[in-house]
């Protein structure tokens, strides 16, 4: 189940080495939903922990995540497992590449690839 949500980075926690082979990092996104903003906690795991390094609290982000759930000792847990983070500013300000049409006379040094 893949989902995405936009919000403001409210809090970023340090990466924790849970076991010798497993690390995790949590962060909180402030999501404008309804009358009151919601503070929603997400988790990054393994190599994905580094995805948050380029962002600061207050940045507007799009978080792509999966729902995860499990049972342990008769208790049930739900986790929002983030796997991609994008800057909202980057998403909206990146211009599309120029269209090349047959007959355009471009200098080879100006071709964008």
Specify the range with the lowest mean pLDDT, choosing from 62-76, 84-98, 99-113.
99-113
Q: Which residue, 37, 33, 42, is CA-closest to 12?
A: 42
Q: Name the CATH architecture for the domain at 2-93.
A: Beta Barrel (2.40)
- pTM, full prediction: 0.73
Q: Scanning the structure block, which residue is given the tokens 């507007």?
A: 60
How big is the CA angle at 75 (ends 73 and 80), to the nearest 5 degrees? 120
pLDDT digits (tens, 9 = 90+) for 19-51: 999 999 999 999 998 899 999 999 999 999 999
Would you kindly state where each structural domain of the chain is located, as residue ranges? 2-93
Contacts of 76 (CB under 8 A, 6+ apart): 69, 70
């Amino acid at each position: 189940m893949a989902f995405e949500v936009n919000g403001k980075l409210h809090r970023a926690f340090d990466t924790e080495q849970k076991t010798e082979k497993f690390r995790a990092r949590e962060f909180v996104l402030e999501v404008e939903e309804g009358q009151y903003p919601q503070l929603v906690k997400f988790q990054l795991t393994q190599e994905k922990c580094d995805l948050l390094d380029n962002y600061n609290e207050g940045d507007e982000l799009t978080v792509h995540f999966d729902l995860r759930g499990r049972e342990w000792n008769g208790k049930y847990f739900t986790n929002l497992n983030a796997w991609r983070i994008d800057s909202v500013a980057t998403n909206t300000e990146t211009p599309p590449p120029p269209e090349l049409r047959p007959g355009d006379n471009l200098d080879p040094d100006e071709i964008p690839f």
